[in-house]
Structure 1
Amino acid sequence: MDSEAASQKDKKPANAPGQNVHVLNAKEVQKRSHGAQRRRRRWTIASFFLLVLAPLVAVIYYYTSVAADRYAVETKFAIRSASGSSPTDFLGIVSTVSTATSTTTDSYILIDFIESRDLVDRLNERFDLFEIYNHPNADILTRLDPEKSVEDVVSYMQRMISVYFDTSSQIITLEVQAFTAEDAQRVSAAILEISDSLVNEISELARRDAMRSAEKEVARVEQQLDDHRRALTAFRQSQQDIDPSASAGAQIQLLGELEGRLAEARARLDSLQGFLTDEAPSVRILKSQISAIEQQLDEQRNRLGRGQQAGTSDGANPNSASDNTLTSRVGTYEDLAIDLQFLQQAYITALASREAARLEADRAQRYLAAFVKPATPQRSTYPKRIQNILIFASFAVMLWGIGVMIVYVIREHSS
């Protein structure tokens, strides 16, 4: 007994004097739990009013009392090529695919242009955008401030102008918003006209690029052809001979006639010398005729060509620069004539190539085909009040619920 009393006495110092230990009963635990739950409930309700209901009331007030009506004009158009025939061969199919790819690229270029500052500048040249979009009917959130910079105007117009491109049908859908129906129709018609001018400019630029090479080739060959024609004319004037080839033919014919006359005279001389002496008048006359024919024959042969001169070695060229014989003239004339014929054929080929390039460029012409044109709307399309309010309410409740859940998870882990 003494030992147990001593052990209990030893355990007492664990509860030091001045240290009060309060043991909670079940009622107190339940009371504290209910208090914590009430605080969490009040915090949850307060956060719902602050983060959901108050913004939702503000949004409802804005869309029902402040938000201005906006009229929308929808336009549908497409960029088409002039070549509309359906191909039947492989090359035609390949060219059709290339044309479709080109029109797709042009469509993307047009979309980028509609969203660019260049369109805003061209629209400002036609009418004042600040006057249209700073309308008295516009509300404070959608009004275009006249103090805005050009970059801010571009961003604002990107909200008022929406463009969509359907890659399967190659159709571009353009929607333009404004605070009056007439302004929406006017801006949409101006954008369509500016886009049509841009497509025509791009098409004409591509056509000039395609024709530039063919035009240069035609001009080059035509210049060479004119130079050779002038060279041939100068040669004819200097030689006083229209066609040396024809003159050479006539010269050869004359030589043949002289040789025939010479042979005939020599035959007659041989016949007379058989029974007459050399001093006979008829023999002397015939010899004189033969001598004259031989001299004339030598002169005509010298005109045709000098032949192998006595003082000319075997390796020397008898047709020197000063040689003006008919043979040398024929050679020069034939060179000029062959070059002229070649250039004439090259000129015809260049003209055909230019015509083919022109036809191909015409087939590749682009144009803007608008099948849904801007029309004045009868009623406003924007803002979609009920839809926007429901979307805002859904997102607000969802974000509030996620935030409350995150807070509860954090408190559970911390406790």
Structure 2
Amino acid sequence: MNTHSPAPVPQQTETKVERLARSTAVHAVMHTRHKGLIASLVAMVVLPVVVTALYLGILAQPQYASETGFVVRQEESVSASQMLGGLSQVLGTQSASNSDLLFEFIQSQEIVRRINAELDLVSHYSQTWPMDPVYSIWPDVTIEDLGSFWRRMIRITYDKSSGVIMVEVRARSAEMARNIARQIVSQSESMINTLNVQARRDSIANAEADLDDALMNLRDAREALVAFQARTQILDPQADIQGRMGVVANLQQQLAQALVDYDLLLQATDNTDPRVRQLDRRIRAIEERIAGERASYSSDGFASDDNSYPSLLAQYEGLRVDVQFAEEIYRLSLTVLNQARATAERQQLYLATFIAPTEAETAQYPRNLMLIGLTAFFAMMIWSICALVYYSLRDRG
């Protein structure tokens, strides 16, 4: 009897591929952290995008935009500084730009208060409250909150190099947007007119004050010159000294003639002749007189005032220059005052509107696709950063 036992079945060996597949399958098991990551993605990215899309598609009300553009212009006029030879350029004085003031005025509470009194902004923008809380305001809003909402509903573009100001206004209706834009232009013109009135008043007041100072300085200079003439009893030292020089010249001529007569008389007679002694006395008298006149050039001859003639002449020249300078300043101040009054009669600053307030035909705001895209982008960025920080801290731990 054949009792051979059956041959053993060979065991099938596990290949590398199978081991790798089994290992991969084990590692592909979803852990708790993976579920948390997916949940955070849904909460931080998907949910905000869905909420934003639903709000913009259902609750957000359409907004119409009106655009206007203007620039502040100034008339060319001759100023006092230009008449003085550009003194302001030497000193480097500059005034603030009127366009900068207007740019700040359009964003201020003052213009919001004025336009609200004209168009009732609160009633218009609170129509959709509380259905559209993002783009609406509550009926009992304060002026501070209304100003903040105003800066959201208008967009201002200001080019400092050219002074051009572009304003875009958003409202619930196209007509209201255009009316608000018109009010912005009207209030801006009113603000420019106020600046004109103030500038005119200040320019005339300054010119009149300068003229009064110039007139007072002219009076003081002339009074000082008259006092000098009364003290010295000399109206014009130059004319007086020329007269004295004429006297000296005449005396020198008489002295020369007397010397000639004296020499001729000596040739005809001797020293005992009475005529010789008389001519000798005449010659000495003329010489003393000439010496006295020459001495008067350095002294005015008054016992109470021993000022030298050159000093008197220097004082007179200084006083005369002061009078001439005061007269020139007075004439210039009078010209500046006339120029200021002529300039005040016309408007120096004016608002040039090169784009009239437009009326929209379709609602351009809110821009749903752009807002949804921005929401998705920033949400994804925040979620990615948070995930990277989490795994970085987990690996270090």
2:108 is matched with 116
1:400 is matched with 383
Aligned mate of 2:158, from 141, 165, 189: 165
Residues paired across the two proteins, number: 268
Matched, 1:61 2:61: no
Measured against aligned partners, the alpha-carbon deviations of 1:242-268 in whole angstroms (never above 9, x if no partner) come to: xxxxxxxxxxxxxxxxxxxxxxxxxxx
- In structure 2, the residue corresponding to 1:168 is in which secondary structure? coil
AA at the equivalent of 1:391: L
Structure 1 or 2, whichever has the larger Rg, is 1
CA distance in 1, matches of 2:387, 2:191: 55
Deviation at 1:108? 1.2
Q: 1:27 to 1:174 in 2, by over 3 A?
A: closer
Aligned mate of 1:197, from 186, 190, 197: 190
Matched, 1:126 2:118: yes
1:207 is matched with 200
- Where does the alignment leave 5 or more consecutive residues of structure 1 unmatched? 1-25, 86-90, 226-313, 317-341
RMSD in angstroms over aligned alpha carbons?
3.8
CA distance in 2, matches of 1:141, 1:350: 60
CA distance in 2, matches of 1:84, 1:382: 45
Deviation at 1:156? 0.9
CA distance in 2, matches of 1:408, 1:195: 57
CA distance in 1, matches of 2:176, 2:102: 22
Deviation at 1:33? 5.0
Deviation at 1:364? 8.8
- In structure 2, the residue corresponding to 1:79 is in which secondary structure? strand
2:127 is matched with 135
CA distance in 2, matches of 1:355, 1:193: 32
2:287 is matched with none
1:385 is matched with 368
Deviation at 1:39? 2.4
Aligned mate of 1:50, from 25, 38, 43: 43
- In structure 1, the residue corresponding to 2:182 is in which secondary structure? helix
Deviation at 1:215? 2.4
Deviation at 1:158? 1.1
CA distance in 2, matches of 1:122, 1:40: 58
Are 1:82 and 1:362, in contact at CA under 8 Å, matched by a contact in 2?
A: no
2:352 is matched with 369
Matched, 1:353 2:336: yes
CA distance in 2, matches of 1:402, 1:120: 41
CA distance in 1, matches of 2:349, 2:23: 83
- In structure 1, the residue corresponding to 2:192 is in which secondary structure? helix
- In structure 2, the residue corresponding to 1:371 is in which secondary structure? strand
Are 2:178 and 2:359, in contact at CA under 8 Å, matched by a contact in 1?
A: yes
2:309 is matched with none
AA at the equivalent of 1:210: S
CA distance in 2, matches of 1:220, 1:409: 79
CA distance in 1, matches of 2:166, 2:174: 18
CA distance in 2, matches of 1:129, 1:56: 31
Moved more, 208-217 or 157-166: 208-217
CA distance in 2, matches of 1:350, 1:168: 35
- In structure 2, the residue corresponding to 1:369 is in which secondary structure? strand
Q: 1:344 to 1:83 in 2, by over 3 A?
A: closer
Measured against aligned partners, the alpha-carbon deviations of 1:86-139 in whole angstroms (never above 9, x if no partner) come to: xxxxx78x87xx99x65x621111111111111112112212111221124972
Are 2:200 and 2:340, in contact at CA under 8 Å, matched by a contact in 1?
A: no
Q: 1:63 to 1:32 in 2, by over 3 A?
A: same
1:242 is matched with none
Are 1:203 and 1:366, in contact at CA under 8 Å, matched by a contact in 2?
A: yes
Deviation at 1:383? 0.5
Aligned mate of 1:107, from 99, 111, 118: 99
Q: 1:62 to 1:224 in 2, by over 3 A?
A: same
CA distance in 2, matches of 1:178, 1:213: 46
Amino-acid identity (%): 31
2:256 is matched with none
Q: 1:343 to 1:413 in 2, by over 3 A?
A: closer
Q: 1:62 to 1:219 in 2, by over 3 A?
A: same
Q: 1:41 to 1:220 in 2, by over 3 A?
A: closer
Write out aligned runs for 1:318-357 (5 A).
Answer: 350-357=333-340
Deviation at 1:374? 0.5
Q: 1:344 to 1:398 in 2, by over 3 A?
A: closer
